[in-house]
Structure 1
């Protein structure tokens, strides 16, 4: 392929990307649980290897690893269900507070605009009917979504078991794709992908835990109702870059408004979330996950939106580790290095239009940009 003219090679790359995207969209029902199983199986590798090193049979080691995963997921489901039961128990109070807030809002609108209370009531009734129709359609869609989720959850442990059981076969398949002289570089790339994904996913697990405890604990001390529920919802939504934090703030405000007759708790919730998020973004998360692979904000947002379009919430969660994995591969493939640059955060201080050195490929330039942007190489520990 290197013998072909540059324009032909670029045309083949773009065509290949188009067909790859088409295949991903068509096969998202298969690929989403398979990718999720791949990432989870990498997280379970330490448990699996621990029991294998103690001469446990392969299937038993995998079974114990899956059991540990089920216990953790069961704990999360139990926590959510207990918090939701508390929320349902407080429903009469929530209904009363919502009516009080709506009455206050109606009075304020009446004092600032020519719309009377009757006109506002008519408008609200019309919008409520529209909302009910929309909710009916949404419930029909949700029924299909629930079925899809059950299929997803049913396939996940099967895929995890098979990926761990056949991991040596799959690794042999990867090596056979490349000539023997490239095997050392392939081994290095696979090791870096495993290290980065493991570091990233374990970091996210730790992040969810301390965000729930820290945010929920502070809100509980302040005296905010449903503090732990707000904490855990924000912690999980915060895993979705940029978009998740905004949704977490909105849900936190709505839960607080519904649970309180006053407005000061809303300010307290927003202030606490902002403080905890600042602490997380600037101090805790960089130390936990590290800076081995940094993805620029543009690639992150586009990846999250694209992942959401392809596979919904699951796609949003998977987008960042997939981009990180692709960046590692692209950085170590001469033919696709420009795509690694596009995803990365190795930003030159000067324009390549003015400094020709930044137009070139080369390890010296890459290492210089990594130092300038304080990016730790993936192989450095």
Structure 2
């Protein structure tokens, strides 16, 4: 008869599966509270990374001045980006009115391909869609966005204010030095993975946005700066962001230009930019720092998108990195971390140092069953 797994292993695996289901249900039910907190933590990690980069690049800046400087820099960056997007969005909406004849022509061509004898005009479609019926939902969504932004800022302020007590909390949670060292090592790996992901996505997103802006400006596409900003923001969403950056500008090129060729050429150029950055530059920068399977990246996008919507899509990769590192710390859940990793060694993430100045006293590595097998015998 075939050998069966010990009951203890089966029970432990079943408990892990049930715990994953329970955590997923809790995350979904409490998404209204947890999504602002997750974004605040995400911003806090980014600001902390900015502060350490400032200290490493500008040694004359003191530790007390680095954090306020990073906060001011982040506020200026986000405020400037919001102003540029809002300013260009206003002109974009105004130009859509001038494109009405071209839109009517495109609708007529599509209707002819579909065999519709009397195609509707833009005005008729506007009346049929009855956008006033959706104004209440739009207003509710804007109100929810403003409320979330308010809570994010509150959470962010408390997180930054309480960061000095983090070391004391770790000492209280892990009184033994070995356990404390392992917990700090796990925290550093999570911070390292999130910061490296942010750095890589920001640099590659800027490369794609600038190259796309040059292509759109050469083609004469209106609101090229607006589209470049949208492409940069969408680059933080795996898979979907790249598709938006490739398809959205050519679609509006169909509306602006009298022929199809500018849209076709723009589509080919944007596709080439995404291909070069995604297949040559991004792998060289990222390397195996995240050590995540590409299929897991896609599945995490769908999983966190279902749980937390657009916020979950933005945070899908950092959240999955955090989950993988935490799961790798326990023998009962390490098999899940192995499945999430790219090469079956989730501990490889620890080999990379965080952005900024290196730690003077790095914590010792956690001895896992896999690492013990790889050690040479004396």
Fold shared per TM-score above 0.5: yes
Aligned match of 2:141? 145
Report the Cα offset of residue 304 of structure 1: 1.4
Structure 2 Cα separation of the partners of residues 255 and 364 of structure 1: 58
The structure-2 alpha-carbon separation of the partners of 1:339 and 1:262, relative to structure 1 and needing over 3 Å to count, comes to same
Q: How does 1:260-279 map to 2 (within 5 A)?
A: 260-279=257-276
The structure-2 alpha-carbon separation of the partners of 1:179 and 1:335, relative to structure 1 and needing over 3 Å to count, comes to farther
Aligned match of 1:65? 70
Q: How does 1:10-89 map to 2 (within 5 A)?
A: 10-48=13-51, 62-89=67-94
Report the Cα offset of residue 178 of structure 1: 4.1
Structure 1 Cα separation of the partners of residues 344 and 267 of structure 2: 33
Structure 2 Cα separation of the partners of residues 269 and 43 of structure 1: 34
Indicate the larger mover: 76-85 or 99-108: 99-108
The structure-2 alpha-carbon separation of the partners of 1:55 and 1:247, relative to structure 1 and needing over 3 Å to count, comes to closer
Structure 2 Cα separation of the partners of residues 197 and 234 of structure 1: 21
Please state if 1:131 is matched with 2:134. no
Please state if 1:241 is matched with 2:238. yes
Aligned match of 2:353? none
**Partner of 1:291: helix, strand, or coil?**
coil
Q: How does 1:334-373 map to 2 (within 5 A)?
A: 334-346=331-343, 362-363=370-371
**Partner of 2:222: helix, strand, or coil?**
coil
Report the Cα offset of residue 211 of structure 1: 1.9
The structure-2 alpha-carbon separation of the partners of 1:171 and 1:53, relative to structure 1 and needing over 3 Å to count, comes to farther
Aligned match of 1:158? 154
Alignment gaps of 5+ in structure 1: 349-359, 368-381
**Partner of 1:295: helix, strand, or coil?**
coil
Contact 1:234 1:248 in 2 (8 A): yes
Report the Cα offset of residue 207 of structure 1: 2.6
The structure-2 alpha-carbon separation of the partners of 1:225 and 1:127, relative to structure 1 and needing over 3 Å to count, comes to closer
Indicate the larger mover: 155-164 or 70-79: 155-164
Indicate the larger mover: 239-248 or 335-344: 239-248
Contact 2:107 2:120 in 1 (8 A): no
The higher relative CO (CA closer than 8 Å, separation ≥ 6) is in 2
User: For each residue in 1:175-230, what CA deviation from the matched residue of structure 2 results, as whole angstroms up to 9, or x when unmatched?
Assistant: 54446232222222211211221111122222332222111112212333333323
Aligned match of 2:357? none
Structure 1 Cα separation of the partners of residues 61 and 243 of structure 2: 46
